[in-house]
Structure 1
């Protein structure tokens, strides 16, 4: 306090603009605090707080003066501190995997939807050295109103146990647990549409690259097998074990190039990351895509739409899933609601990596 009093006498001389200018400079790390506003306005911190919150306890003249000073200083209230005082965080916790491009796109749309509704997001990532339970525990410590889990890899019993401690919404998972909202695209329909597209183009030798332990892997794999059978191609099915990464696509395409894996006329991958790894490796190895081999991914990420990629892919409509997830999360935060399962249509986005195969009338 002594330092403030000594300097205050010289404020007008040293800082044009008087005490308001001093308060701006005095704020820690460049952020003007309510203490700075109170000092500049010549009021107590309590009175400044009452005035800024619009509550009773100060005269209208004082309120107008405090608000004017706060505006000149560029004061921004600490929303998290205010929400904590109100015992309601208005924060939605989100878990995601750092190595999944689709997750990043969902998060971008989650931010937009949450911000439009006056909520904030707290992100907690899973990595090779940080498990999903650890990521979830971090969100619980941050007092998040509801947790949004993107493609959770939890078992049913783990999800049920977590649901007993927190409100939950999942995106991109077919887990079905009492009391947990589930939002996902119709993966079975999406894969079926992709296979149908390839068959219409005259492809019969269609290989599927699996996503390993990734969520929805079994669903998409089963959808591929069903779709091939539906077109009478049971004997032509081929599933290659993979991982949901670009590196996995590179490895599998390399095996095709050197003869360790058969080279099909069309490849359908679990996600865009695998498909892009396959696409770039085949092209680098002299295989024309789509002239020699057609390639389809899943998720319709931004990478798929790049001019140098132009990958045909199945869209999950990340924007719609994110908006619906935020709406459900807020409903859960505001009171008990019945669990909901929302399944949105998948949509095949045809670009430049699919073309007529050897059995198409236009071929040959």
Structure 2
């Protein structure tokens, strides 16, 4: 006789059922507020994470909804009919490229009596979800976002007129404005190749389409010139100065050193330059460094960089967002061309 297998229900699902019983016992109706999460945790003798998971499960089933900074409520989230003169802007960090874009967008919004509300996700899908909920709750009339692909479902369900910029999410029908990262990177690496560099490393980020496109352009340029990419010459993590410094430390601490480094953005490049100065490695006499973005930082550091024209990008984002807010069909894809700005950080490879 076969012994029946035992199954255990996850604790958060048991709690979800308990919250539904509590709603019924207290006679709570749609729109009524639930007890605070701390009280639920104490009442059901579970931790705060289990409460969060249970409420998330109930929200996905349309049985409760959260209102940022206010609490959790019974019933499906009401569709916001009130629209304000606020436009949501969402991007991952305060890197100068995004700051320049919001500055350009703000000046355009002002002509129409609109104002931006800015949220930073810091690369966290959870923060991005909360930001989208916040934008919906306050009733923004439009949204410009540099999205995280992990939030695809939330963007599919979004009822706010929206435009992506800097990156996109495949399969999500939201118009997007991007730069040609593959071609821009290819152009930059070909500049290094023309200077005689063959040992070229790449320090970049990972986890987003922009980073993937820049890596693809890097590899394509080297393969097109018949060059290989040595093991360890590609270092990927994040767009930060600290990562640029640490990755350079790894590269130049090995026996096989590059003569040039292509960086995924100017912020990474600034960390590389800081490392080179600290170790007495001359740039560009010993090592050439190339950035991406052509930010004010690159001008200050005399860094050669691939230019992303902020004004052109912001103009395209605003044009498409206006179309979405009017209910007119926007351009699904707008691709902006880049250009190479040569400064003092790149020169001929040392013989």
Whether TM exceeds 0.5 here: the answer is yes
Q: Once superposed, which parts of structure 1, at least 4 consecutive aligned residues long, lie more than 4 Å away?
A: none
Q: TM-score when scaled to structure 2?
A: 0.71
Matched, 1:266 2:265: no
Work out which of the residue numbers 280, 290, 298 in structure 1 matches 2:284. Answer: 290
Shift of 1:160: 4.6
The separation in 2 between residues aligned to 1:183 and 1:141, in whole angstroms, is: 26
Secondary structure class of the residue paired with 1:216 = helix
Q: 1:215 to 1:89 in 2, by over 3 A?
A: same
Please tell me whether residue 113 in structure 1 is matched to residue 108 in structure 2. Answer: yes
Given the superposition, is the C-alpha separation of residues 224 and 159 from structure 1 closer, same or farther in structure 2, using an over 3 Å criterion? farther
Q: Which of 314, 322, 338 in structure 2 is aligned with 1:322? A: 314
Check whether the contact 1:271–1:298 (CA below 8 A) recurs between aligned residues: yes
CA pair 261-123 structure 1, distance change in 2 beyond 3 A: farther
> Aligned pairs, how many?
269
> Aligned with 2:149: secondary structure?
coil
**Which residue is equivalent to 1:140?**
136
Higher helix share: 1
Distance 1:160 1:101 in 2: 25
Structure 2 gap ranges (5+): 1-80
Q: Does residue 166 of structure 2 align to residue 211 of structure 1?
A: no
Query: Which runs of 5 or more residues in structure 1 are unaligned?
Result: 1-85, 359-363
TM-score (norm 1): 0.69
Partner of 1:199: 193
Q: Secondary structure at the match of 1:94?
A: strand
User: Relative to 1, partners in 2 of residues 1:319 and 1:143: Cα closer, same or farther, differing over 3 Å?
Assistant: same
Matched, 1:255 2:247: no
In 2, Cα distance between equivalents of 1:169 and 1:128? 18
Indicate how the Cα distance of structure 1 residues 209 and 235 shifts in structure 2: closer, same or farther if over 3 A, else same. closer
SS at match of 1:210: strand
CA distance in structure 2 between the partners assigned to 1:128 and 1:199 by the alignment: 33
1:94 aligned residue: 89
Please state how far the C-alpha of 1:234 moved relative to its aligned partner.
2.7
Q: Any residues of structure 2 matched to 1:144-293 within 5 Å, and which?
A: 144-150=140-146, 152-155=147-150, 157-158=152-153, 160-163=155-158, 165-234=159-228, 238-257=233-252, 259-260=253-254, 262-293=256-287
Q: What is the match of residue 99 of structure 2?
A: 104
Equivalent residue of 2:102, what SS? helix
Cα distance change on mapping 1:229 and 1:212 into 2, 3 Å: same
Q: Do 2:86 and 2:114's aligned partners in 1 also have CA atoms closer than 8 Å?
A: yes
Question: Are 1:182 and 1:341, in contact at CA under 8 Å, matched by a contact in 2?
Answer: yes
Q: CA deviation at 1:295?
A: 0.3
Matches of 2:83 and 2:145 in 1, distance apart? 21
Residues 71-97 of structure 1, C-alpha deviations (whole Å, 9 max, x = no match) = xxxxxxxxxxxxxxx965232210122
CA distance in 1, matches of 2:261, 2:293: 15
- Structure 1 residues 3-42: aligned runs within 5 Å: none
Cα shift readout 1:42-72 (whole Å, capped 9, x = no counterpart): xxxxxxxxxxxxxxxxxxxxxxxxxxxxxxx
